[in-house]
Amino acid sequence: MMEQAANPRVKALAFDLYGTLLDLNSLIPPCADLFGNQGQELCRLWRAKQLEYTHLLNLMARFEDYWLVTEKALIFACHRLNLACPPALQDKLLEQFFHLGLFPDVLPALQALPGYTLAVLSSGSPKMLQVALENAGIKKFFGQIISTSEVKSYKPNPLVYQWAAQKLGLKPVEIGLVSANAWDAMGGKSCGFWVCWVNREDLPWDDLGFTPDTAVSRLTDLPDILPPD
């Protein structure tokens, strides 16, 4: 666990969804069912392009719905790997974004945080977020589900984090951002959030001038780090 910085009075926790609460590796089995041993590489490239497209759209000051971005990333990945994926198969794979599995540490961690306002802050479109959280059985824990589509941009654009603070009615320092994506953690920290990086894979930190307040290897470590409100 990374050494913890002096803790602000955190009143709300904003959780990233994809890769933090929902496990994108749960896409591998359906991809493998369709494409055999290329299924895992398809998932890796699909996710990489999904993120790349959101970052490129930010740089170009443009916005496209995350569902469309996800579809375009899938089409590229299939073309890159020379996989035949007609529209019916594309729809079948895209549907899996509504049925992503939870990381095993998510439910016990959420159950141990009754003293905080909990929110989701994600790039997913509102429908994607609502349905995925409902299907995963954790929607009930979150008072707010904030989509970056509300500001027509994607993380780590500062507009996203500023909007989240406005929606929650709090100062950035009163909000804890919990994310497994280092670039998201940096974005939140650059805007004044208290940040917990969920580093399940024991990766090195990307040193670009901002560091998280703490890092954990399991989400279940989070309740012990945060003081009571």
Question: Catalytic one among 16, 105, 184, 213?
Answer: 16
Amino acid at 57: L
Q: Are strands 22-23 and 101-102 parallel, antiparallel or unpaired?
A: antiparallel
Told to judge if 16 belongs to the known catalytic residues of this protein, a careful annotator would answer yes
* 220: Cα within 13 Å, side-chain hemisphere: 5
Closest CA to 176 of 161, 156, 160, 196: 196
Alpha-carbon gap, residue 117 to 177, rounded angstroms: 12
Alpha-carbon gap, residue 25 to 180, rounded angstroms: 14
Whether 214 and 1 have beta carbons less than 8 Å apart is answered as yes
In this structure, the number of other CB atoms found within 10 A of the CB of residue 165 comes to 19
In this structure, the number of other CB atoms found within 10 A of the CB of residue 105 comes to 18
By annotation, the residues acting in catalysis are 16
